[in-house]
């Protein structure tokens, strides 16, 4: 076979000069023929037969912004999750973005079908990803009454518009049985870096996809919507801050953010809370808790507010809540709007929740019932600790300043 036939060129020879004795040259126009791949792109009707070669010429992912935003979705008013892709070929997972975890993890395809907690979830299969790199170090999280076990791996993560290459994470091979009830397939840890492990936000800072070392969380107060809110990486979105009217003037200004120093030594966003006060305004009585101050952390993955068992029992007595199931307490729905306001004092400022804000309305078919967002902890190590979940965070936009080791709260818009 002639050599020139293997090149995608047509040689069209114009021989005008051959009949002209005075001509001393031959002109050969060279026209480029489309390569086989290019012809496939423009071939008509291929998609009608299920053939699509578009993936061959997708432009490379190029994220040049210095911040990012991730949509969060609500599940049963108890979980807030976002979409994350792992690996190449990408696998999509529902992941909670957890300020109370440092390590990112996802349920592994190696989790046996006999493990109830893994049932019904999307599972990460590293054998399908050519960017997967093994690590193999064992992982164990002791969560008191139960454990999570797995092993470390490395792979590419696509979070929002940002790609993180070689992120270290855990493939979880055993999770508690109640995880079968969760929508999320894993956790993206937003805790502090305290050792050699880089939480994913630190990986973003390293590869300069995020410029400012802070993030913020807005949780949607509309419990009827599945849109749970947004995680803003690298910026504060002022549209989520409540505007207050300037006295005597015809314009408004954003509420001021209240910042508190955090202790990052254990990886949590832990800060000091001054006190909690239940205000029985109809009797002009106040009932203080967390007297003398106590520790608090925020948990962006749950809707509940956890406190010492004795304090929660006392609060439930004041709001007329009675024991239900799974550690929750029931409130009469016709009393919700009459319940006393509860103040959480932070840095000398009251952050107040009213009855409809700390009571969750739920329904099962035609039956509607209401449960308190407060839940008691029997753990002896947590009797001076409060955990503020979405019942608090949906009313106060939260800012996590990594560089300055501080957390901020402001009334949400």
List, by residue number, the catalytic residues. 98, 299
From the list 150, 174, 137, 154, the residue with the least C-alpha distance to 86 is 154
Helix (H) or strand (E) holding 201: helix 200-206
The SS3 call for residue 37 is: helix
What DSSP state is assigned to residue 157? E
Please classify residue 340 by burial: count the beta carbons closer than 10 Å to its beta carbon, then call 0-12 exposed, 13-18 middle and 19+ buried. Answer: buried
Extract the runs of DSSP E, i.e. beta strands, from 179-226: 186-189, 214-219
User: Prior bond to 89 cis, omega within 30?
Assistant: yes
Instruction: Kindly give, in sequence order, each residue whose CB lies less than 8 Å from that of residue 66, ignoring residues fewer than 6 positions away.
Output: 208, 209, 210, 211, 212, 234
- Check if the beta carbon of residue 63 is closer than 8 Å to that of residue 211: no
Residues with Cβ within 8 Å of residue 75, at least 6 apart in sequence: 81, 182, 183, 184, 226
The answer to whether 243 touches 254, Cβ cutoff 8 Å, is: yes
Using an 8 Å Cβ cutoff, are 160 and 215 in contact?
Answer: no
Q: Output phi, psi for 162, to 5 deg.
A: -110, 130
Cα→Cα distances 42→39, 54, 136, Å: 5, 10, 45
> C-alpha angle with apex 303: 83 to 151, nearest 5 degrees?
50
Q: How far apart are CA 13 and CA 29, in angstroms?
A: 7
């Amino acid at each position: 076979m002639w050599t020139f036939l293997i090149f995608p060129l047509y040689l069209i020879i114009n021989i005008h000069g051959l009949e002209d004795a005075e001509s001393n040259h031959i002109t050969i126009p060279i026209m480029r023929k489309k390569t086989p791949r290019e012809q496939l792109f423009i071939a008509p009707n291929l998609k009608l037969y299920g053939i699509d070669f578009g993936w061959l010429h997708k432009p490379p992912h190029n994220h040049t912004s210095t911040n990012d935003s991730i949509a969060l979705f609500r599940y049963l008013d108890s979980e807030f999750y976002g979409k994350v892709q792992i690996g190449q070929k990408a696998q999509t997972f529902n992941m909670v973005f957890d300020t109370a975890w440092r390590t990112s993890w996802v349920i592994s395809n190696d989790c046996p079908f006999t493990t109830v907690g893994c049932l019904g979830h999307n599972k990460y299969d590293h054998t399908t990803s050519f960017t997967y790199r093994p690590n193999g170090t064992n992982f164990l999280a002791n969560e008191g009454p139960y454990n999570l076990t797995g092993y470390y791996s490395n792979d590419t993560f696509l979070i929002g518009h940002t790609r993180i290459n070689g992120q270290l994470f855990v493939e979880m091979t055993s999770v508690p049985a109640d995880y079968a009830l969760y929508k999320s397939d894993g956790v993206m840890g937003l805790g502090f870096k305290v050792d050699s492990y880089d939480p994913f936000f630190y990986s973003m800072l390293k590869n300069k996809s995020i410029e400012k070392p802070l993030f913020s969380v807005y949780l949607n107060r509309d419990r009827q919507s599945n849109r749970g809110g947004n995680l803003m990486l690298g910026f504060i979105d002022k549209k989520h801050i409540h505007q207050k009217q300037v006295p005597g003037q015809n314009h408004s200004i954003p509420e001021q953010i209240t910042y508190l120093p955090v202790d990052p030594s254990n990886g949590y966003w832990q800060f000091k809370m001054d006190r909690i006060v239940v205000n029985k305004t109809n009797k002009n009585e106040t009932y203080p808790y967390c007297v003398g101050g106590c520790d608090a952390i925020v948990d962006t993955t749950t809707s509940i507010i956890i406190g010492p068992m004795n304090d929660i029992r006392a609060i439930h007595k004041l709001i007329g809540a009675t024991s239900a199931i799974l550690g929750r307490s029931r409130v009469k729905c016709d009393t919700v709007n009459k319940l006393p306001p509860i103040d959480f004092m932070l840095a000398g400022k009251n952050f107040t929740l009213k009855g409809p804000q700390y009571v969750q309305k739920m329904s099962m078919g035609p039956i509607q019932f209401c449960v308190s967002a407060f839940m008691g902890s029997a753990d002896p190590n947590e009797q001076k600790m409060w955990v503020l979940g979405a019942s608090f965070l949906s009313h106060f936009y939260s800012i996590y300043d990594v560089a300055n080791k501080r957390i901020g709260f402001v009334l949400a818009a």
